């Protein structure tokens, strides 16, 4: 039951699958910038909203 409480507070858990590229594979894809990476995933808009709010609080209250 503890996992349900954690999911309620932090949101559902996600699994990220990574692909390992060997030397014989095709050329690597171009590196993504932070902005394009944040906007490409499902949580990008929420992440940006959090960062904007955090920046506002730092400017306003010096937190």
**What is the Cα–Cα distance from 47 to 40, expressed in whole angstroms?**
11
pLDDT at 45: 81
Count: domains in the chain? 1
Local confidence band at 53 (pLDDT 50, 70, 90 cut-offs): confident
Residue-level pLDDT at 51: 87
55 belongs to a structural domain: yes
pLDDT at 22 over 50: yes
The rounded distance, in Å, linking the Cα atoms of 37 and 44 is: 8
The answer as to whether 62 is a domain residue is: yes
More confident residue, 30 or 17: 17
What residue numbers bound the domain in which 36 lies?
Answer: 32-63
DSSP state letter for 42: T
- 41 pLDDT more than 80: no
On whether residue 14 sits in a domain, the answer given is no
- pLDDT at residue 40, rounded to an integer: 59
């Amino acid at each position: 039951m503890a996992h349900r409480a954690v999911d309620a507070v932090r949101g559902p858990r996600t699994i990220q699958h990574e692909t390992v590229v060997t030397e014989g594979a095709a050329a690597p894809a171009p590196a993504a910038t932070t902005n394009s990476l944040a906007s490409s995933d499902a949580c990008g808009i929420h992440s940006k909203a959090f960062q904007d709010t955090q920046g506002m609080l730092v400017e306003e209250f010096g937190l």
